[in-house]
Structure 1
């Protein structure tokens, strides 16, 4: 990975962190759909990045979010689950020919169908972990399921919009 790609990864990390903390923290639709767009940063990391560096990046991102949300590690645990499963999930949905290692798994590079198959399970995993830990022991099962589904749909739609507005079709970030 060259220096310009590393620089762009660092800048996009800071942008996603600040966007989540300053803008999206209070964005909730109908009291159930939360916008945790920072998950998109982990999803858009290049395919070549291995699991351990992804876990380190996810830990720093989650701790940064938790620091400003006062959630005591809930975001960190949730995003670490996504980072841990991400590489295995990519291997499961890889076609016979494989992918270029430096390819960014985005809608523009891979297509809507592939990105849907790739991102929805990971976004759902994040939201299941987050809302399960957040509502542990409250007995509000149906309300938690409603939050998981509504938030996952909201984050997926927002991730498509962000990619169409701010990303270009290219090989890396």
Structure 2
């Protein structure tokens, strides 16, 4: 793999409805990760990173949108208009960083922390940028 690796497939996990049960988030993350691992022959690296990302998704959502704790909002989904740009960047950035950092740590299987952090930050920046652009384009298309 190169030094900068954006992974857009995690957008699937980011776009799941907020009221999706945690167990279903984890199962879907496992299926997504194992599919990517099968095609890239990475022996569980993407599976672990996707499941870890899915595990932290709900606590991050409850932190950013406290009203989700009090009432169930059916089929509420991630969108720039619903979140606002600042919260969307925090939500996307945190989860993408968790995914990329765990993936690159496992891939290197050593603690070259500076190199892994630089690689994580660069790849996360590119992934976040692409995810926000795709999200903007998807919402724009749905609005028409």
TM-score, scaled to structure 1: 0.74
Partner Cα separation in structure 2 for residue 105 and residue 126 of structure 1: 18
Pick the aligned partner of 2:90 from 117, 124, 143.
Answer: 117
1:167 maps to 2:139 = yes
1:64 maps to 2:47 = no
Aligned residue pairs: how many? 140
Alignment of 1:28-47 (within 5 A): 31-47=2-18
User: What is the match of residue 65 of structure 2?
Assistant: 94
Partner Cα separation in structure 1 for residue 104 and residue 119 of structure 2: 8
**Alpha carbons of 1:106 and 1:99: their partners in 2 closer, same or farther (altered >3 Å)?**
farther
Moved more, 125-134 or 85-94: 85-94
Give structure 1 stretches of 5+ with no counterpart.
Answer: 1-27
Q: CA deviation at 1:67?
A: 0.3
**RMSD of Structure 2 on Structure 1 (CA):** 2.0
User: What is the match of residue 107 of structure 1?
Assistant: 80
Partner Cα separation in structure 1 for residue 121 and residue 18 of structure 2: 27
Give structure 2 stretches of 5+ with no counterpart.
Answer: none
Alignment of 1:115-154 (within 5 A): 115-137=88-110, 139-154=111-126
Pick the aligned partner of 1:77 from 27, 48, 62.
Answer: 48
Q: CA deviation at 1:53?
A: 0.3
Q: CA deviation at 1:99?
A: 7.1
Bigger helix share: 2
TM-score, scaled to structure 2: 0.88
